[in-house]
A = this chain, B = another copy of it.
Amino acid sequence: MQDPGAGADAYTPTDRTVPTRSADRARYDRESVRAILDEGYVCHLGFVRDGAPVVLPTLYGRVGDRLYVHGSTGSRPLRMAGAADPGLPVCLTVTHVDALVLARSAFHHSINYRSVVVHGLAYEVTDPEEKRRALDALVDHVVPGRAADSRPANRKELAATAVIRLDLDEVSAKFRTGGVNDEPEDLGLPHWAGLVPLRKGYDTPVPDPALAPGTDLPDYLKVL
């Protein structure tokens, strides 16, 4: 185990990234943060519109310590980020639910989870090269290696797509792992207690009906 908050390869905790409760479940090391981010499919992106919060699910990609979100040039958070000076305050959260934790007591029911919360300013990506790398990262985030096995975006598609960037700087990971934490006096109760892990991974892929003849399922999609 690494020291959760220390070392050059960790993010510096801030007032916003130290939880008010269960601070022992927080971690700041880059390795934990990246592993959680890389396993996710969608993030939940929060921003403020007319003083109220908005939380939308969206795909994302990572290049080093930068996260990218894309969308139509007409989509609201992307337009807002493009217009904001210096940038649009956002909070980007990725969560994995690993297991249900069933305790004998209602109070101690919980879930085992891993989450990452990123605070910062989102900027529109205007450099064409960075935009291309970001879009590759977004596709590779869905399936690693997939960007190289698909037709790259053409000029029209690039023009229709906006990309915003959020740096990993003010960021924390949070975990709940392990078993049931019932009170000692409840251990003899007749209720079943334990973990119910949730299934993960790919189910059998379903090919497009119009697949070009002889197109085999790529190795990176083989179900283990």
With a CB–CB cut-off of 8 A, which chain B residues contact A47? Answer: 53
Q: Is the CB of A215 within 8 A of B201?
A: no
Q: How far is the CB of A197 from chain B (nearest CB, A)?
A: 4
In whole angstroms, how far apart are the Cα atoms of A161 and B109 in the complex?
13
Query: Does any Cβ of B come within 8 Å of A30's Cβ?
Result: no
Instruction: Tell me which residues from 28 to 66 in chain A have a Cβ below 8 Å from any Cβ of chain B.
Output: 41-42, 44-49, 51-57, 59
CB pair B150 A57 closer than 8 Å: no
- A10 within 8 Å of B (CB atoms): no
Chain B nearest Cβ from A74, distance in angstroms: 6
Chain B residues with Cβ under 8 A from A117's Cβ?
54-56
Contacts of A1 in B (CB 8 A): none
Binary B-proximity of A74-113 (CB < 8 A = 1, otherwise 0)? 1110000000000001111101010110111111011101
* Chain B residues within an 8 Å CB radius of A197: 202-206
Query: Is the pair B146, A41 in contact by a Cβ cutoff of 8 Å?
Result: no
Is A157 an interface residue, CB under 8 A from the partner?
Answer: yes
Of the listed residues A119, A188, A194, A201, the one surrounded by the most CB atoms of chain B closer than 10 A to its CB is A194
Residues 140-151 of chain A, each 1 if its beta carbon lies under 8 Å from chain B, else 0: 001100110111
Which partner residue on chain B sits nearest A71 by CB separation?
B21
A200 — which chain B residues lie within 8 A by C-beta?
Answer: 199
Chain B CB within 8 A of A129 CB: no
